[in-house]
Structure 1
């Protein structure tokens, strides 16, 4: 941002890699023959692979089995580890995934406090753990914990004014499951009558909150928002494709099951003591899911220690992460062909927990990766023989229940035996991320050049990195619009509302974990406040105007070009055309072909294509660590009307009837009363207006030609979210040129893309009146 002050000064002046893992000697060159053709030698190690004994007095009686590590496992392990780096499972990518999703959590925390949200969001699962690859196509897991419920383990935990729910269980309640008895808000006594559709009466007369009815309630709320098709899958109720969204309750009181696990793990090498201390303070959750064999499965809630499980995952070293990812690839590519998708990532995670707990830390090295994979499969074989995979934390839970039948368990056992016997030779036949071909010697040279349809490793890593940033910015803008929408809907003065939110965010910035996200919000809120002040004080004396313009320097950090375009628009609207041109020239230098447009309101097919983001990398590869180039849409809310060209006033009033307004989804309601335009079309449109105002006719016509060429080029559609608005702009250019028929054609084309909630309807009416008056 070195040039940021220069941009402001120009405007005012015109006013009247991380190193690789060490390898053992002799392992530098990759082995280029299948493992079956290698001479076998072996290393002998001692490891306990037996199932844990659940009674405390037998926990120390481990059976030690001598295992032989074939010598060729060394080369294959290093090759597999290197290939996992290449397909997006390296350390940098894994840590960036974690950081991104934790940042999204923190953003949700801050925005939740600003908008008065009664829930707290957490990201769990593979994406947030950094344990996925593009080929695994992992879902995004979001747990939204409702704050208005007070979950009690005892009536002494009751709180006045809260929705109080008492956790119940008896001798026939399955492990991990609870019933929730409804307790009055203003007296610590059980509710005796059904006053809510979500309540049911138990045979004993107790009034319970039904998990099934709670999910139905969440589904109805999501459907009422008209924000996509709502689907239920287990405890998840989601209206976003490839997202699992679970509505749950915090359990902040000590839980016996968790304490028992902590006591059982004390004194071991893993989990470490600090993790156990943190686990003791960590809340658990109740998610709406009953036991498949329970008589009360529609009423039961499942205890879920997600935060503890995340701490366990975050304690993994890179070899353990790669082992877990490899297990999931085996699960999806091989085991799913046997029994469908009934083996889950959570089964793989549980296998990892048990294996790490019972394996000496010195074994978790890169050159042992294949051996460790086999070790995990041997642990799975033990559990399959017993017909029970115990939950790692909560005792008495069989993770096969409701997932795998006895017949399916036997089929998997047979195949796992085959995998172990053949030293994982089926790895060479895995299609996910083209792993099998990459492992085979015949594919190594082709992969190094970058096979057809594949990204070179450095391009793939860069593409993933930019995609994560792009997704974060999308979510950020969506949350920012929520804040603005709520201020607009409130009875307070808009500027006062912005200032109040700014003060609240500044308070959050003192929390070290929230600082980065807080400053992102501060920059955007300050930029909006600045332009609103300009719009509402259009008759400011010149010194006051200059001071507000100078403040724009703080908003230039929001993205590459949209804040500069808004500055240029302000200068144009206030008659400072030479200053506007200087800013537009600066924008044109920055808004190059590698810049990716970002819009939180509209989805474009291809926005999740890693190739699109890899293409943003310069040919020299020098910018892999430089600041990525993203351009937000340029947005003018109604309070900024005097900072926008007049044509955008129609965009702020795009609906012609109340029926059109009623058709809007919840997301559309947050932005359709604003004017939004993609940065590049707005750049050319502003150039057309400004050069016209300066009388530079050739440059004005050139800007019009470039605008039309850009909009009509199909290759640019990946960066045009508001195509109907862009078409309206080129139509308006032709209208100002007096070519009314061409203008009418563009307005009508705009309606082909959006026939309602489109300002083109107003433009066509206006133009038809002009044409009729000329006849």
Structure 2
């Protein structure tokens, strides 16, 4: 591919030190993951303890929960809400009474990685035969299909639809959020099971990792293929939990490569706020590189070479306009994403980065990475006053994670219009999860329960005061009159 210069080892070591300094190390990565997993657990318990007609499970996905971000990248929070009362089945044996069920249809008309959802009756395993509104619509085959526009009904009013997600602008104290509503699959779709059953000679992902992946849920999310004429009826298969489990198994050098790719993407490739190449494409490229390269190359003294492998693979994907989904290989995630003109521009920008000789890294201003690297290489001596020291970075990240958790607790604990019965229901839910749940659920309950107990006590006290006032207003005049007569008689 290209000759490895002798100085790559030195740059790799200095670059690894810089990434350590800005909080990309095992300690901070695990801290980010624990904080986000705790926040998603609190939200799930909150939903399940509410008097609602639908049950939901919340997953915080993407860079924040993977720990693959930095303060300077300011990554969005990706939230997937699984609507558990709805199920997607692949054969009639999976049908469950009282659930809103859909039969997954994949045929020659559906693009790889996508499906159609046939609407089924909740009382018996038979398809629905009548159209309902604008979302349960009959197609040319006579099936009643669910249009993916159904998810718009449940989206927040202030959202902006972007693919399957609702983009919510950043609010004070919160990052911008991408909210996705999803239906759970009863089992892994056949097109995805092919990857699980492959007996690869590669060591990654390992057989043990695949066994765990099999236990994760698959979803369908409401978006069709850009290249399809039937996009409103198509639903995309999502293996986001499986991908998160793969990310959790990366070593620190692989995580650092991904972060560097995102920094290069933001600085050089997606110039002027373009989004032709997404961070998800970079993640997919990284997965393919890890699967195809020997495991012993992914170490901090070789990170510069690893970064070059990834950039070279990304360049080939753009050149061929083909980046296969890591799990559903037939699904080309670059299909229809950019025009011929944009492709020419992207290849031109990447040609200046491959092979990466270090100079391009000097131009990255995110987290002052370029300047920090030049300092490590003794190319400059002056440090600007605003540059945080490593211990300040650790403190700022830790404080930010604690603040985020506190804000999620405050956001969940909105009891203004809740009745005493609802509060009791939630406290009982916390008790059940604390008794029977895992460590994350126990921790979530310890954080949420005191606030709800306080609110319950305050509401009880308030109601008692109100009842006392009502009693006094009703009976006080009579009591005062009796008291006055008693005093007169005594005189």
Cα drift, residue 138 of structure 1: 0.8
Distance between the aligned counterparts of 1:83 and 1:149, measured in 2?
47
**Does residue 363 of the first structure (1) align with residue 363 of the second (2)?**
no
Secondary structure of 2:414's counterpart equals: helix
Query: CA offsets per residue over residues 674-714 of structure 1, 9 Å max, x none?
Result: xxxxxxxxxxxxxxxxxxxxxxxxxxxxxxxxxxxxxxxxx
Distance between the aligned counterparts of 1:336 and 1:640, measured in 2?
61
For 1:479, the equivalent position in structure 2 comes to 412
**TM-score, L = length of structure 1:** 0.56
**Does residue 165 of the first structure (1) align with residue 102 of the second (2)?**
yes
For 2:485, the equivalent position in structure 1 comes to none
Distance between the aligned counterparts of 2:21 and 2:8, measured in 1?
20
**Does residue 278 of the first structure (1) align with residue 212 of the second (2)?**
yes
Which of 57, 60, 63 aligns to 1:126? It is 63
Query: CA offsets per residue over residues 366-398 of structure 1, 9 Å max, x none?
Result: 111111100111212332332211111102111
For 2:130, the equivalent position in structure 1 comes to 193
Cα drift, residue 145 of structure 1: 0.7
**Where do 1:176-255 residues align within 5 Å?**
176-211=113-148, 213-219=149-155, 222-223=156-157, 229-241=158-170, 242-255=176-189
Which of 222, 229, 233 aligns to 1:299? It is 233
Change (3 A) 1:70 1:181: same
Cα drift, residue 422 of structure 1: 5.4
Distance between the aligned counterparts of 1:424 and 1:406, measured in 2?
29
Query: CA offsets per residue over residues 555-594 of structure 1, 9 Å max, x none?
Result: xxxxxxxxxxxxxxxxxxxxxxxxxxxxxxxxxxxxxxxx
Which of 490, 494, 504 aligns to 2:432? It is 504
Q: Indicate if the aligned counterparts of 2:220 and 2:235 stay in contact, CA closer than 8 A.
A: yes
Q: Indicate if the aligned counterparts of 1:87 and 1:433 stay in contact, CA closer than 8 A.
A: yes
Distance between the aligned counterparts of 1:297 and 1:421, measured in 2?
39
For 2:488, the equivalent position in structure 1 comes to none
**TM-score, L = length of structure 2:** 0.87
Change (3 A) 1:387 1:501: closer
**Does residue 69 of the first structure (1) align with residue 1 of the second (2)?**
no
For 2:385, the equivalent position in structure 1 comes to 452
**Where do 1:638-677 residues align within 5 Å?**
638-639=462-463
Cα drift, residue 256 of structure 1: 1.4
Secondary structure of 2:230's counterpart equals: coil
Change (3 A) 1:245 1:257: same
For 1:462, the equivalent position in structure 2 comes to 395
Secondary structure of 1:136's counterpart equals: coil
Q: Indicate if the aligned counterparts of 2:64 and 2:77 stay in contact, CA closer than 8 A.
A: yes
Secondary structure of 1:195's counterpart equals: coil
**Does residue 110 of the first structure (1) align with residue 36 of the second (2)?**
no
Change (3 A) 1:147 1:86: same
Q: Indicate if the aligned counterparts of 1:502 and 1:525 stay in contact, CA closer than 8 A.
A: no
Change (3 A) 1:131 1:205: same
Distance between the aligned counterparts of 1:471 and 1:339, measured in 2?
27
Distance between the aligned counterparts of 1:499 and 1:309, measured in 2?
34
For 2:449, the equivalent position in structure 1 comes to 522
Change (3 A) 1:78 1:164: same
Q: Indicate if the aligned counterparts of 2:433 and 2:441 stay in contact, CA closer than 8 A.
A: no
Distance between the aligned counterparts of 1:277 and 1:500, measured in 2?
35
For 1:317, the equivalent position in structure 2 comes to 251
Which runs of no fewer than 5 residues in structure 2 stay unpaired? 171-175, 467-491
**Does residue 488 of the first structure (1) align with residue 428 of the second (2)?**
no
Query: CA offsets per residue over residues 626-680 of structure 1, 9 Å max, x none?
Result: xxxxxxxxxxxx45979xxxxxxxxxxxxxxxxxxxxxxxxxxxxxxxxxxxxxx
Query: CA offsets per residue over residues 123-153 of structure 1, 9 Å max, x none?
Result: 1101111111122111100000101112111
For 2:34, the equivalent position in structure 1 comes to 99
Comparing 194-203 with 175-184, greater Cα deviation is found at 194-203
Secondary structure of 2:178's counterpart equals: strand
Query: CA offsets per residue over residues 217-267 of structure 1, 9 Å max, x none?
Result: 123xx22xxxxx221111112445310000011113132122211223544
Distance between the aligned counterparts of 1:331 and 1:265, measured in 2?
34
For 1:625, the equivalent position in structure 2 comes to none
Secondary structure of 1:294's counterpart equals: coil
Cα drift, residue 414 of structure 1: 3.3
Which structure has the higher relative contact order (CA within 8 Å, separation 6+)? 2
Cα drift, residue 360 of structure 1: 1.2
For 1:431, the equivalent position in structure 2 comes to 365
Which runs of no fewer than 5 residues in structure 1 stay unpaired? 1-64, 224-228, 536-637, 643-775
Q: Indicate if the aligned counterparts of 1:218 and 1:237 stay in contact, CA closer than 8 A.
A: no
Cα drift, residue 444 of structure 1: 5.2
Q: Indicate if the aligned counterparts of 1:284 and 1:304 stay in contact, CA closer than 8 A.
A: yes
Change (3 A) 1:129 1:180: same
For 1:154, the equivalent position in structure 2 comes to 91
Comparing 292-301 with 406-415, greater Cα deviation is found at 406-415
For 2:480, the equivalent position in structure 1 comes to none
The count of residues paired between Structure 1 and Structure 2 equals 457
Q: CA RMSD in A?
A: 2.4
Cα drift, residue 480 of structure 1: 2.9
Higher Rg? 1
Change (3 A) 1:151 1:499: closer
